[in-house]
Amino acid sequence: MTQPAKGTVGELGEFGLIDRFVGRLGPAPGALLGPGDDAAVLAAPDGRVVVSTDGLVEGRHFRRDWSSAEDVGHKAAAQAIADIVAMGAVPTGVVVALALPADTPTDWIDGLADGLRTECATAGTSVVGGDVIRSDALTITLTATGDLQGAAPVTRGGARPGDAVAVAGRLGWAAAGLLVLSRGFRSPLAVVSAHRRPEPPYAQGPIAAKLGATAMCDISDGLIQDARHVAAASGVRVNLATDRLSIPDKLRDVASALGVDPLQWLLEGGEDHALLATYPAEVSLPEPWLPIGSVAPGSGVYVDGESRQAGGYDHFG
């Protein structure tokens, strides 16, 4: 029988891996009981818990030749926590399940833990527990929790005719980075880093709830696709105006070099995890919220007056 190479999770064994991984995560100050027991214990001050689960599969959501382990940790935490703040909640904890091949290098696990720890801290939360299993495919599943702090959740189904449509956060950057990497390049670093490490506007979710947002979601599958989710859940039509979308010079330069239309990145590119929300028209929106459209009676998404039935990411499309 072939022995696992030195420096792999197979050599560490299950409990050695858990000890090593947890040891890099640091304390979980937001938990009443953190990693190390059968389950974590979190406070639920108003009697409700917001919960969301996200998974990342190697080869689908990340590639180890494109992203470091630390990058993957950042990305995994960002996409899970973005769903929590998109409900108007404050993140309270993250649980991580790792399915790993036995030959996964231990230093890769170290980097993953470091990325998770740092990104969670950025969002004001921490990893509070998890599980590890042996698998042929490298898969990372995160369950994030949040606290509404006495407020009502902001769902996708509350948009009303007359509301304004607004976004907070970057659009199109991750899509640009993905195309750059897929063409075999590793620069410009600004767009490549956007694919590797999204920067969700975590604080803006709870702020949107306090401002009176009627509907909200994070933009994981593209502006058009996620606006379509809001339109369907709310039973309304969402109108988007491209003249309100500013295309950064960096994206224009990259698009020109690659021969593509940068506007498509803003409209259809996912994984930036910006926030899309609707507000009563009378609400004065602070920065970084940018009004980009309106809600009207009807159904579907219209861009500059034209119906858009496609556009964005669909896992099975």
Examine the pLDDT at 5 and tell me if it is beyond 50: no
Burial of 298 (0-12, 13-18, 19+ CB in 10 A): middle
- Kindly give, in sequence order, each residue whose CB lies less than 8 Å from that of residue 249, ignoring residues fewer than 6 positions away: none
What number of residues does the chain have? 317
- In-domain check, residue 315: no
Mean pLDDT within 247-273? 97
pLDDT for 1: 38
Measured distance CA(308)–CA(264) in Å, rounded:
12
Mean pLDDT within 197-214? 98
Mean pLDDT within 208-219? 98
DSSP-assigned letters across all residues of the chain = -PPPPTTBHHHHHHHHHHHHHHHHH---TTEEE-BTBSS-EE--TTS--EEEEEEEEBTTTB-TTTS-HHHHHHHHHHHHHHHHHTTTPEEEEEEEEEEE-TT-BHHHHHHHHHHHHHHHHHTT--EEEEEEEE-SS-EEEEEEEEE-TTSPP--TT---TT-EEEEES--SHHHHHHHHHHTT----HHHHHHHHS----TTHHHHHHHHT-SEEEEESS-HHHHHHHHHHHHTSEEEE-GGG----HHHHHHHHHHT--HHHHHHH--SS-EEEEEE-TT--PPTT-EEEEEEESSSEEEETTEE----S--TT-
Residues 293 and 188 in one domain: yes
Examine the pLDDT at 272 and tell me if it is beyond 50: yes
Write the secondary structure of 92-149 as one string of H (helix), E (strand) and C (coil). Answer: EEEEEEEEECCCCEHHHHHHHHHHHHHHHHHCCCCEEEEEEEECCCCEEEEEEEEECC
Q: Which residue has the tokens 């195309």?
A: 179
Examine the pLDDT at 4 and tell me if it is beyond 80: no
pLDDT tens digits, residue range 124-137?
999 999 999 999 99
Residues 210 and 275 in one domain: yes
Mean pLDDT within 227-239? 98
Residues 168 and 134 in one domain: no
Percent of the chain residues past pLDDT 90, beyond the cut: 87
Among 48, 51, 218, smallest CA distance to 128 is for 51
Residues 204 and 131 in one domain: no
pLDDT for 202: 98
Percent of the chain residues past pLDDT 70, beyond the cut: 96
pLDDT for 137: 93
- In-domain check, residue 265: yes
Examine the pLDDT at 311 and tell me if it is beyond 70: no
- The parent domain of residue 137 ranges over 9-147
Do 197 and 173 form a contact (C-beta atoms < 8 A)?
A: no
**Residue 299, token pair as written in the block:** 């159904």
Residues 103 and 209 in one domain: no
Which of 147, 179, 197 terminates a domain? The answer is: 147
Residues 252 and 182 in one domain: yes
Do 96 and 116 form a contact (C-beta atoms < 8 A)?
A: yes
Mean pLDDT within 256-280? 97
Residues 303 and 176 in one domain: yes
pLDDT tens digits, residue range 32-79?
999 988 999 999 988 999 999 999 999 989 999 999 999 999 999 999
Which of 147, 174, 195 terminates a domain? The answer is: 147
Task: Give the CATH number of the domain where residue 182 resides.
Answer: 3.90.650.10
Residues 135 and 168 in one domain: no
Residues 169 and 117 in one domain: no
Examine the pLDDT at 170 and tell me if it is beyond 90: yes
- In-domain check, residue 316: no
